[in-house]
Structure formats: C-alpha cells, structure tokens
C-alpha cells in the first residue's frame, strides 16, 4: 500500500458581507457570526481529516460593484484564499449587484454548486427562486455567493459545505488522479454525504455529491437529521508502542498531526478502560473509606461495612392500638381503670389481674399487662362525678391471646440483626437513613465520593454571566455551568476550575493547581485537531500522563479523551477531556464520567451505569454511521405503561438545546452494526434508551 501524501493544508476562507446597512453599522451584521458558526460546525464534524477550514478574512462592504470586485481580486489573486464566500446582493433590488460583480471575475462557472444551493433552499421556501446565486473559480479560489438573510445564507452554505473541500483542493491544483482514486463511493464517504438510493454512481461522478439527498436537506433545515462526518482519507500514522501520540507543542503548526493518531474505540471498550483506571471496590486501588454521620448528608453514599442493629426495635413492649392494657386471661367483664400509658417516656404503674390501664398506640405496656383490647371492643361503665375521667370500663372482647395487639421487644429488629449489607446504597428515598436512625447508629463507614473539578478551555470562551455583549468570535461558557449543575445534583462536590486559555502555560498551571484539590478532573474543549487543542499534549508531555483513549466511535463525542496523570505516591488523577461542543460534553458526561464517579464512590458491576430501558420511538430515526446517542424525552404512557420517546429535535453537537427537557439518550446503533440493511429505526420500533433524568408521565 503506497501511502498517499496529505491532500492539502488548511483551507482558507474569506467572508465578504455585502450590505449597505451592515456596512453603515457593523453592529447590525449577523451574517459573520452565523457563517463562522457553520464553518466551525463543519470543522467540528471533520475531526481527524486532512483538511480544516480557517477563516482568514472577514469584511463588511456596501452593495457596490467596484468595492466587491476589488476585495475579491485581492483575496483571490494576492492572498490566494481557498474559498471566498459572499453574502447579500443576490436579489432583484436595484442595488443587488453581487452576482454581476462576481460573474465578471470568474474563470470557470460552477453551475452544479448553484444548482445545489438553490435545490436545498427550495426545499425550505419557494421564495428561494428569487435568489440569483453564482459560483465558480477564479485562479485557485472557489467563490460562492449566498443570499443576504443570515438564515438563507446558513442553509445554502450548509447544503454544500461538505462538498467544498473537494472543489477547493482541485481548484488549488490537487492531483485529480489521486483525488479520485477509489471512485465516487469513496469520495462520498469521505465527504460524509450519502447519495439517494438507486443513484447511479458511475455516470454522474460530479453531479452527484448528495446535494439532493436526505442528508443535505437535514443539514439545511437543522432539524434532527444526520450530519455524516467525513472519514480520514489517509492511513493513520504513529501507533508505534511507547511513542507519544499527541502533538509536540514545541514544533510548529505545520508539523502537527493531520489525522488523529488515536485509535477509534467503541463505547464498550471506553467503558472498560475507564473501569480499569478508576478506583474500584474489591481491587488493589479500592476507593477510600471514611466515617460519615447518619443524617441527610449520607444520601448517595455506599456502605463500606455491614451494619447490624445496636438495639432492638421496639425497645419495649408497645401497644399497636388505642385501647386498654389487660391481663389476657381476665376475660369479659367490668374492670377498674388504674392507670394511663401514653406514648411518652416515664415510669408506668404495674398492672395486676382484675385491673386495666388506658393505653395509646405506640405506648409501653404496663408491667404485668399481657395484651391490649381495642377501644372499639369496650364500653364506658362509670366516670367521675364531673364526667371527665373514666373509672370503670366494660371489656367486651373475649378469648384474648397473650400479646394480642402488642409489638414484642425486638419484633421488628433484634440487637445484632443485619440492618444493611456492605455495598448498600443510601438512597434519596430515605429508607436506609431511617433504618440506621431507628437503632441509634450514629456513624457508618462509607466509600468517599470523589470531588470533581470542572475546567473550560478555549480562547473564545467567556464567563456565561458576563454582562457585556459578545464580540465576534466569543462564546459564552455553557459547559461549565451545565457540568457543575449535573455533578452537584448527582450528589458530588464540584469545584469550579474556571476557564483556561488555549496557551500551554495557562492550562498547565490550572491543572497543576487542581490536582491537590480534586479527585477527578473534567475539561471541555481543546481535544479536537486544531493546533490550539492542547489537552492531549499537555497531559502526555507536561504531566507524563497516560492517554487511555482519545477517540470513541460515537456521535456526538468522538474526540472524548480519558487519561490518568500520576500524582504523589501512586495516586493518579483521572482526567476526562470532553469535546467542547455543548451537547457532546453533556452526553459524554452522562455516558462516561458519571459511571466513573459512581465507581469511585463504591458502586460495583453494572450499577455504576445509569439504567437503560427499551422505549418506543414516536418518529423515524435516521441511523448514522457511528452509534448515536440521540437526546430524547421519555414519558410513561399511563394507560399502556409503555415508555415513549420523543426526540428533542436538532441533534447537532453544538446545540445545547437538544438537551433541554431531555431525560434519555436513545442508543441508536451505527449503520454498519445492525445486521439488516436498516438505515433508520422506524417510528413505533423499540430502541434502548439510557435514562439520564427523571421519568414523567405522558400528557393527555
Ligand atoms: P473544541 O473542542 O475546543 O474544538 O470546541 C468545539 C466547539 O465547542 C467550539 O465551537 C467551541 O467554541 C465550543 N465550546 C468549547 N467550549 C465551550 C464551552 N465551555 N461552552 C460553550 N461552547 C464551547
Ligand atoms: Mg477550543
């Protein structure tokens, strides 16, 4: 096998916003943000590939033909960008001149791209017919013109962005023999697009591209369909044992890996590697055992000892009804009331045969009494003159047995009885706390719960509650509040480690300072393929940590990384580096981190994982090549008792909204995994769901 050379470097992009309004007031522009997000999303979807979009130019200019041409010439002829994207000026208004300005500059037109964009837009609105896009090549640069509305521009760009690398690489002089070796199927796979069924692969090499496929439509409507990520084109390198796989940060960017050197492992293998590297009960690296007092704070702990009753319950002979304590052999008749026993501590007058005493539920039996007659089986016979006190009572019940209506000492629990076994979970229901409390257990040995540190990374990330508006490129930190909330709500102590910039020193210092404070570290961001993605190099090269895995075959969450970093005398700190995309971070937290925290706190076997259940889907679910964790709300259908799943909508990994009101992750198999030729799970079928939140009842 001859290894093919990497196909290209970064694909540079220029965004040219053509708009009189936005040019007059830059603050009104939304196109730059929108398109930047589309491109970032495309990059996020191509982790591990041999190309990456890099936005080099962003400009806002008025609807002026000369200005448009001047800028485009500069970007194509002088700067040699791979792709120029314009927005605006494609309508029928007098000032709309972008297509005219661009057409004059093109060496080659690309009617296929125009057709693709229009086809995608027409699926959304018939008004797309009012757009006049042009596309083509100037020199080595591909140029496309998008409509001015951010929504339209987004939909158009999304519909073709997966195909554009191919066009840009060719325009830049890529060897088309190399590019096309392997045929169109391979190209489609690499671009992450799936053609229409029955599509002729051989006769329409260039027209195909899957533009009219379900996939492209799914992308442009952004409503829960699939984004097939491209797969790397070249062989992976550097899996030689002992070598560090991460990028050497002292080298320059041109030397970094262009495909992930970490093998892609399955979720199951990832779970196994985590389980092997987190303290576990019954192993040499068992979780620490601590003493905890029996109170509300005990919930969520696992007992590290067997607990036996210190006392008997009840500790005295107690009545289980309101009535009269008697000597059971006395029988029917009228008896004097010689005393009263309430459920309160204190001396109680003994009873002799022929006497009775009034008694309430839970109160101790007077010495000498052997049974209790219910108040319903008695009649008042004589009271004091003022009528306030009972003097004599007629007992109507006959044939009383010894200890009738009495809880004997230790009848619930005897001193020394097993109360809770080792490994018992103290639940939020309260039953276990109650049991321990009932026999006076004040402290128990439990496994210590881990303290979890949460760190966000990224130069673009700002505090979520910062008052000022965002400037271009800034992103509010949603991962840290999300994870801190989830960790705390699950009963673990969370430590906020803040935001680390994408600079080796900052990340290193923050991590170092956290080792002594926390047991487990969660970071988000910086595990992709960008040169600013520092997590893996820092773990391996600065802290001599071991990366147990750096890529998992799943969606979302492919770049999820798990490592351990050696710390003082053999303790090692587990570190979960989750992808930055909010949905990915949250899904991988529930799938990987939470089980690790549970194992650390003493759960064993399958109990470390969140529960799974079969649920019925209420819509068709399209399968992705990778196993997918599809966010859904699972409800209990009250009449049938079935669990019904409703997708939360758009599933792209950057969409944190896909987790709002979600309480389950539908575990969809990867395309290749299912034995049959299914490409979707039809509505009404059952799928496995990981239950991550409380179940609710179906409305209506
Ligand atoms: P990264 O994994 O660093 O390449 O980040 C992937 C995407 O997730 C980028 O669009 C980031 O801006 C975004 N992202 C990273 N960290 C956060 C965060 N803490 N909150 C919200 N978005 C984030
Ligand atoms: Mg980042």
Q: What is the dihedral of CA 284, 288, 289, 290, to 10 degrees?
A: 170
627 and 602 part of one domain = no
In a domain, 256, yes or no: no
- DSSP-derived secondary structure letter, 37: H
Confidence category of residue 213, pLDDT binned at 50, 70, 90: very low
* Ligand 1 contacts CB of residue 497 (under 6 A): no
298 and 336 part of one domain = no
The predicted-structure confidence for 62-119, as pLDDT tens digits, reads as follows 999 999 999 999 999 988 999 999 999 998 989 999 999 999 999 999 999 898 888 8
- Residue of 48, 524, 557, 560 to mutate, ligand 1, most atoms within 8 A of C-beta: 524
271 and 302 part of one domain = no
The predicted-structure confidence for 402-433, as pLDDT tens digits, reads as follows 999 999 999 999 999 999 999 999 999 999 99
Q: How far is the CA of 292 from the centre of ligand 1 (A)?
A: 39
Structure tokens at 78: 């002088």
192 pLDDT more than 90: no
In a domain, 484, yes or no: yes
The helix-helix angle for 111-124 and 214-221 (nearest 10°) equals 60
* Ligand 1 contacts CB of residue 479 (under 6 A): yes
Mean pLDDT of the region 474-480? 97
198 pLDDT more than 60: no
Instruction: Report the range of poorest mean pLDDT among 239-248, 390-399, 423-432, 469-478.
Output: 239-248
Boundary-marking domain end, from 557, 573, 608: 608
- DSSP-derived secondary structure letter, 605: G
The whole-number pLDDT of residue 199 equals 40
49 pLDDT more than 70: no
In a domain, 236, yes or no: no
* Ligand 1 atom at minimum distance from 43 CA: 4
- DSSP-derived secondary structure letter, 59: E
In a domain, 669, yes or no: yes
The helix-helix angle for 31-45 and 150-160 (nearest 10°) equals 20
Confidence category of residue 129, pLDDT binned at 50, 70, 90: confident
> How many residues are listed for the chain in this entry?
700
Tell the residue nearest (CA) to atom 14 of ligand 1. 580
7 pLDDT more than 50: no
Tell the residue nearest (CA) to atom 16 of ligand 1. 580
The whole-number pLDDT of residue 29 equals 85
The whole-number pLDDT of residue 226 equals 41
Supply the CATH number for residue 379's domain: 2.170.190.11
Mean pLDDT of the chain: 87
Q: Which residues have C-beta within 8 Å of that of residue 381, sequence separation ≥ 6?
A: 334, 391, 392, 393, 394
Structure tokens at 297: 């704070």
223 pLDDT more than 70: no
- Decide: 385 and 262 in contact? Cβ < 8 Å: no
**For residue 294, what are the CA distances in angstroms to 5, 431, 489, 577, 656?**
65, 12, 20, 35, 38
* Ligand 1 atom at minimum distance from 584 CA: 8
Q: CA-CA distance, 677 to 671, in Å (whole number)? A: 8
The residue with greater pLDDT, 319 or 43, is: 319
Concatenating the DSSP letter of every residue in 166-222 gives HHHHHHTT--HHHHHTTHHHHHHHHHT--PPTT--TTTTTTT-TTTTSHHHHHHHHT
End-to-end CA distance of the chain: 62
Q: Which residues have C-beta within 8 Å of that of residue 342, sequence separation ≥ 6?
A: 360, 363
326 and 467 part of one domain = no
Q: Which residues have C-beta within 8 Å of that of residue 673, sequence separation ≥ 6?
A: 627
* Ligand 1 contacts CB of residue 98 (under 6 A): no
CA atoms in the 13 A half-sphere facing the CB of 495 = 17
* Ligand 1 atom at minimum distance from 37 CA: 10
CA angle 619, 621, 627 (to 5 degrees): 150
- DSSP-derived secondary structure letter, 592: I
Q: How far is the CA of 174 from the centre of ligand 1 (A)?
A: 32
Mean pLDDT of the region 681-685? 94
* Ligand 1 contacts CB of residue 557 (under 6 A): no
Q: CA-CA distance, 359 to 368, in Å (whole number)? A: 14
548 and 520 part of one domain = yes
338 and 327 part of one domain = yes
In a domain, 242, yes or no: no
666 pLDDT more than 90: yes
191 pLDDT more than 90: no
Can you give the residue range of the structural domain that contains 211? 7-230
* Ligand 1 contacts CB of residue 653 (under 6 A): no
Q: CA-CA distance, 531 to 516, in Å (whole number)? A: 29
382 and 277 part of one domain = no
Boundary-marking domain end, from 587, 608, 629: 608
54 and 199 part of one domain = yes
**Per-residue b or e along 267-306, where b marks 16 or more CB atoms closer than 10 Å to that residue's CB:** beebbeebbebbbbbeeeeebbeeebebeeebebbbbbee
- Residue of 55, 458, 480, 559 to mutate, ligand 1, most atoms within 8 A of C-beta: 458
440 and 524 part of one domain = no
Mean pLDDT of the region 206-219? 31
Concatenating the DSSP letter of every residue in 324-370 gives EEE-TTS-SEEEEEEEEE-SS-S------TT-EEEE-TTPBPPTT--
Q: What is the dihedral of CA 24, 28, 34, 37, to 10 degrees?
A: 90
**In terms of Cα–Cα distance, which of 543, 585, 579, 584 is closest to 564?**
543
In a domain, 93, yes or no: yes
In a domain, 554, yes or no: yes
The whole-number pLDDT of residue 310 equals 94
Q: How far is the CA of 444 from the centre of ligand 1 (A)?
A: 42
Quote the distance between the C-alpha of residue 298 and its chain's center. 26
Q: CA-CA distance, 679 to 669, in Å (whole number)? A: 10
Beta bridge partners of 265: 552
- DSSP-derived secondary structure letter, 98: H
Q: CA-CA distance, 487 to 454, in Å (whole number)? A: 9
394 and 422 part of one domain = no
Boundary-marking domain end, from 574, 608, 642: 608
- DSSP-derived secondary structure letter, 634: E
Q: Which residues have C-beta within 8 Å of that of residue 388, sequence separation ≥ 6?
A: none
Give the ligand whose atoms come closest to the C-alpha of residue 461.
1
537 and 664 part of one domain = no
In a domain, 494, yes or no: yes
The predicted-structure confidence for 565-582, as pLDDT tens digits, reads as follows 998 867 799 999 999 999
- Decide: 309 and 360 in contact? Cβ < 8 Å: no
Percent of the chain topping pLDDT 70: 87
627 pLDDT more than 90: yes
- Residue of 33, 459, 471, 475 to mutate, ligand 1, most atoms within 8 A of C-beta: 475
Count of structural domains, the chain: 5
Beta bridge partners of 138: 141
325 and 357 part of one domain = yes
In degrees and rounded to multiples of 5, residue 21 shows phi and psi of: -65, -50
Supply the CATH number for residue 672's domain: 2.40.340.10
Q: CA-CA distance, 290 to 302, in Å (whole number)? A: 11
For the chain, the maximum distance between any two Cα atoms, rounded to a whole number of angstroms, is: 120
**In terms of Cα–Cα distance, which of 301, 298, 284, 297 is closest to 602?**
301
34 pLDDT more than 70: yes
**In terms of Cα–Cα distance, which of 49, 541, 50, 561 is closest to 248?**
541
The predicted-structure confidence for 289-311, as pLDDT tens digits, reads as follows 999 999 999 999 999 999 999 99
205 pLDDT more than 90: no
The residue with greater pLDDT, 636 or 252, is: 636
Q: How far is the CA of 457 from the centre of ligand 2 (A)?
A: 6
Instruction: Quickly count: other Cβ atoms within 10 Å of residue 104's Cβ.
Output: 11
The whole-number pLDDT of residue 559 equals 95
CA angle 7, 8, 9 (to 5 degrees): 150
Task: Quote the pTM value.
Answer: 0.66
Please report which helix (H) or strand (E) contains residue 632, including its range: strand 628-636
Give the ligand whose atoms come closest to the C-alpha of residue 464.
1
Supply the CATH number for residue 469's domain: 3.40.980.10
């Amino acid at each position: 096998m001859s290894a093919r050379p990497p196909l290209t470097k970064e694909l540079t992009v220029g965004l040219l916003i053509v708009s009189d309004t936005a040019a007059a007031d830059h603050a009104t522009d939304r196109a730059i943000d929108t398109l930047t997000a589309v491109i970032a999303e495309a990059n996020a979807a191509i982790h591990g590939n041999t190309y990456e979009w890099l936005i080099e130019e962003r400009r806002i200019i008025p609807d002026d033909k000369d200005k448009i041409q001047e800028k485009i010439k500069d970007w194509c002829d002088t700067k040699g960008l791979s792709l120029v994207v314009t927005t605006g000026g494609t309508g029928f208004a007098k000032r709309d001149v972008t297509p005219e300005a661009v057409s004059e500059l093109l060496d080659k037109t690309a009617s296929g791209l125009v057709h693709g964009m229009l086809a995608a837009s027409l699926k959304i609105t018939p008004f797309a017919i009012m757009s006049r896009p042009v596309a083509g090549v100037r020199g080595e640069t591909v140029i496309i013109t998008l409509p001015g509305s951010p929504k339209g521009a987004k939909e158009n760009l999304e519909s073709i962005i997966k195909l554009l690398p191919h066009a840009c690489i060719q325009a830049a002089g890529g060897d088309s023999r190399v590019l096309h070796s392997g045929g169109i199927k391979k190209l489609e796979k690499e671009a992450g697009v799936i053609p229409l069924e029955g599509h002729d692969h051989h006769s329409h090499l260039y027209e195909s591209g899957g533009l009219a496929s379900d996939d492209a439509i799914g992308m442009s409507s952004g409503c829960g369909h699939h984004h097939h990520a491209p797969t790397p084109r070249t062989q992976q390198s550097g899996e030689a044992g002992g070598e560090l796989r991460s990028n050497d940060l002292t080298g320059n960017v041109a030397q970094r890996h262009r495909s992930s050197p970490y093998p892609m492992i399955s979720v199951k293998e990832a779970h196994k590697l985590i389980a092997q590297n987190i303290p576990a009960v019954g192993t040499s690296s068992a979780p620490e055992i601590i003493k905890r007092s029996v109170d509300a704070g005990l919930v969520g702990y696992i007992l590290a000892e067997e607990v036996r009753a210190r006392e008997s319950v009840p500790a005295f002979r107690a009545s289980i009804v309101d009535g009269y304590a008697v000597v059971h052999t006395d029988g029917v008749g009228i008896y004097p009331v010689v005393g009263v026993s309430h459920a309160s501590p204190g001396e109680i007058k003994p009873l002799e045969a022929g006497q009775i005493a009034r008694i309430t539920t839970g109160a101790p039996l007077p010495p000498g009494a052997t049974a209790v007659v219910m108040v319903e089986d008695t009649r008042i016979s004589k009271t004091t003159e003022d009528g306030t006190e009972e003097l004599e009572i007629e007992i109507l019940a006959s044939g009383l047995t010894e200890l009738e209506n009495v809880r004997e000492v230790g009848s619930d629990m005897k001193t020394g009885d097993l109360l809770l076994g080792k490994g018992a979970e103290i639940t939020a229901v309260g039953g276990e706390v109650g049991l321990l409390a009932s026999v006076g257990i004040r402290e128990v040995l439990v496994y210590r719960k881990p303290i979890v540190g949460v760190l966000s990374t990224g130069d673009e990330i700002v505090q979520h509650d910062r008052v000022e508006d965002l400037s271009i490129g800034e992103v509010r930190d949603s991962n840290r509040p999300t994870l801190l909330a989830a960790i705390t709500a699950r009963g673990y102590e969370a430590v906020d480690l803040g935001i680390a910039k994408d600079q080796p020193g900052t990340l290193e210092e923050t991590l170092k300072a956290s080792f002594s404070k926390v047991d487990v570290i969660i970071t988000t961001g910086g595990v992709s393929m960008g040169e600013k993605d520092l997590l893996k190099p820092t773990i391996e090269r600065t802290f001599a940590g071991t990366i147990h895995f750096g890529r998992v075959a799943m969606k979302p969450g492919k770049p999820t990384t798990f490592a351990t970093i050696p710390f003082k005398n053999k303790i090692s700190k587990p570190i979960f580096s989750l992808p930055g995309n909010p949905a990915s971070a949250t899904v991988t937290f529930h799938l990987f981190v939470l089980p690790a925290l549970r194992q650390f706190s003493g759960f064993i076997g399958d109990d470390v994982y969140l529960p799974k259940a079969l649920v019925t889907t209420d819509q068709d679910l399209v399968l992705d090549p990778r196993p997918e964790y599809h966010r859904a709300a699972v409800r209990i259908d009250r009449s049938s008792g079935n669990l019904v799943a409703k997708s939360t909508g758009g599933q792209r990994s950057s969409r944190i909204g896909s987790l709002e009101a979600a309480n389950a992750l539908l575990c969809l198999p990867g395309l290749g995994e299912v034995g049959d030729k299914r490409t979707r799970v039809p509505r009404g079928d059952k799928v496995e769901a990981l239950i991550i939140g409380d179940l609710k009842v179906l409305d209506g």
